[in-house]
Chain A
Amino acid sequence: MILTGNQIRKEVVKGDVIIDPFSEDQINPNSYNYRLGDDLIVFGDDNKQKTVKIDEGGYVLEPGVMYLAATKEVLGSNKFAMRLIGKSSIGRLGLFLQISADLGHVGSVHNWTLELVAAHKIRIYPGMIIGQITFWESKGKISVPVETYNKFNEPQESLFKI
């Protein structure tokens, strides 16, 4: 079951959904809008990375290049599973926010890393509404999550090891 906007509001009050800061304006019929933080990791040649601040004039993303950013909000739940996805208004401008890794684990509460890929050159602004998160009831015993990326609040590059 996917939580409706009204149910998300109730769960925030109860503390079973954590959204910080929380704003009524960002509730949708069945999701909550999240905003873009102001740090952007840019990968150069040979995968060397640098973190840049997106200023109020915006930052232009080149097509076909991957950047990492983060949500401005701390988002999570100890009860519901989550899907972090884009807004249709942003998808219609050709900006991917995840690279087929949309699932949030029960127990993860943090600023989420976004994987930005532009299909068309696009200007992004810090603090803009960029995506949405949905919350899903789960079935079965909830196990304690293994601590991995959920401890990170800044855009975090892959820690994948073979």
Chain B
Amino acid sequence: MILTGAQIAREIEGGSITMIPFDKECLTTNSYDLTLGDEYLVYASEILDPSKNNKYEVKKIPNDGLVLKKGEFVLCHSKELLGSDNFVPIIHAKSGIARLGLFVHITADLIDIGSKGNVTFQLYSTLPVRIYSGMKIGQVSFWETKGEIELYKGKYQGSSGPRASESYKDFKIEDDLR
């Protein structure tokens, strides 16, 4: 079951969903709108390698916005700090953003239950587009679970700002292939 906007508000007020800051204006019928933070991250390596710590730079989005070229890929973050110990959050683009050809995540929409922090958006533009800090860019929905809950204790817990991939920390390939 997916939570309605009214239920999301109730769960935030009751403490089962963390949403800082919380603004009632951001509630939709069955999600909560997320705004773009002011930093972005670009990788410096020509070839990204999940087994390595890939070099990157974090920069500020200028006041007059940042233009993403067609096919450009950057990591950004939500202004909001969010998470839940009771519901599973799933990230989506706003349809108004998707209609501009901008992906906000790269097939990684699922947030683990118990994970709290700024969401890292994976922006990929299919057309040139200008983005602004503070704009509504995504939305988060919350889903009921079945089964005993074990909370997230992973490496991205407590993220602040855009977080680069840390896949190298637990990278392994099958022994039988070595």
Q: Residues of A at under 8 Å CB distance from B?
A: 1-8, 10, 28-31, 35, 38, 56, 58, 60, 63-64, 72, 85-98, 102, 119-129, 131-132, 134, 137
Contacts and interface: CB of A to CB of B under 8 A. Distances in A.
B46 interface: yes
Given A4-B147, A85-B110, A125-B50, A94 B73 contact: yes
Contacts, number: 156
A63 B151 CA distance: 35
Contacts of B172: 128-129
Q: Name which of B50, B163, B165 has the most chain A CB atoms within 10 A of its CB.
A: B50
Interface residues of B, number: 50
B177 A126 contact: yes
A126 B110 contact: no
B18 interface: no
A123 B50 contact: yes
Interface stretch (B27-35, B112-120, B128-136): B112-120
Contact of B88 (A8, A30, A64, A121): A30
Nearest to A4: B147
B174 A134 contact: no
Contacts of A124: 50
A127 B148 contact: no
A63 B71 CA distance: 9
24 contacts: A2-B144, A3-B147, A4-B150, A5-B150, A6-B150, A8-B147, A29-B115, A29-B152, A38-B177, A72-B174, A92-B75, A94-B48, A95-B106, A119-B71, A120-B48, A120-B73, A121-B46, A122-B48, A126-B177, A128-B50, A129-B170, A129-B172, A131-B107, A137-B146
Given A4-B146, A7-B148, A125-B50, A119 B108 contact: no
B64 interface: no
A89 B166 contact: yes
